[in-house]
């Protein structure tokens, strides 16, 4: 599991989702563009979703959330639900 730190908060999500968000943020910054993405998260042990605005001025960081969170979100399901948009997977090189 990974924690995405963004602005004044953070969200807990799967490794693949967090990596894809970081790559997509860099791609959008290079293009001078912004997007809203919806990702699956884990909040207080319960699954949920978060909307994140990513753009050229976004400052985010991805960090390990620790082994106690391994397996809490099914990566296959998380990847399928990530943004309803193939651009995130393409940015991460996922087919």
Cα distance between residue 65 and residue 85, in whole Å = 26
Provide mean pLDDT across the span 66-78. 56
CA distances from 14 to 31, 32, 50, 57, 60 (A): 26, 27, 13, 24, 16
pTM for the full predicted model: 0.71
Q: What pLDDT digit, counting tens, does each position of 14-39 carry? A: 888 888 888 888 888 888 888 888 88
> 10 Å Cβ neighbour count for 66?
11
**pLDDT classification of 62: cutoffs 50, 70, 90:** very high
Residue length of the chain? 95
pLDDT surpasses 50 at 84: no
Average pLDDT, rounded, for the chain? 76
């Amino acid at each position: 599991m990974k924690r995405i730190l963004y602005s004044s908060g953070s969200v807990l999500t799967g490794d693949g989702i967090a990596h894809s968000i970081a790559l997509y943020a860099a791609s959008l910054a290079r293009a001078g563009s912004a997007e809203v993405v919806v990702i699956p998260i884990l909040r207080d042990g319960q699954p949920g979703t978060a909307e994140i605005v990513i753009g050229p001025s976004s400052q985010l960081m991805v960090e390990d959330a620790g082994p106690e969170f391994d397996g809490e979100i099914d990566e296959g399901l998380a990847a399928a639900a990530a943004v309803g948009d193939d651009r995130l997977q393409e940015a991460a090189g996922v087919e």
